[in-house]
Structure 1
């Protein structure tokens, strides 16, 4: 999976540079990524497989950004590209995972293609002061 993620990140960065992403990936971007992965890694993926992976990356990005912007008792190590959980931080991590079970696998796990994830997914998520949730925005209508 790591090789696939790295190769997919490179291909999608190329597709991004070519303007093949707007609100989502254009069909030609998914086609190019599928063909490249299948030929270079000997896989038999469909476009749907390609389309789903950036969705997972968006989840990872959201989790890490939440951790970076909230003081929740543990942190993201930018240099090592991982959420570092020490023994002392384990209770805070366990409490976080109860509310965010999709984060469980990220404990002390390097995300080698993090820089690609930031470039590919970072623009899709608003963060910081003044950001509204969906419910807050809907109440304002």
Structure 2
């Protein structure tokens, strides 16, 4: 009987040590991930702070809005997409493309150009913009 109790106690001790090790590893991983994310955001913010995404914004609005707004624009929708892809998104570091798209969408909402409902729908469209531009293989 004493051997069974000792074996069970030893197993419990091993399980607790393994759990303790797993928790310690998880905490360490979370901390370093948070640090990396913060540093990447700072890097991306610096990279895009002087950029304009006006062609990307126009293209997204044209993709989203199916009204007659295209009649008033000087160029066809394809022109805005090409300039968005080649001039506004292509020069951005690969790690910062999604940050740039989110920043652009935030600016559009902050400026009052989009309602909350439009923003939700357009976020999905904006997430695939880097795929449309052949910059990423996965949506943001």
TM-score by length of 1: 0.29
Task: Please identify which structure carries the higher helix content.
Answer: 2
Task: Please identify which structure carries the higher strand content.
Answer: 1
Q: Which has the larger radius of gyration?
A: 2
TM-score by length of 2: 0.29
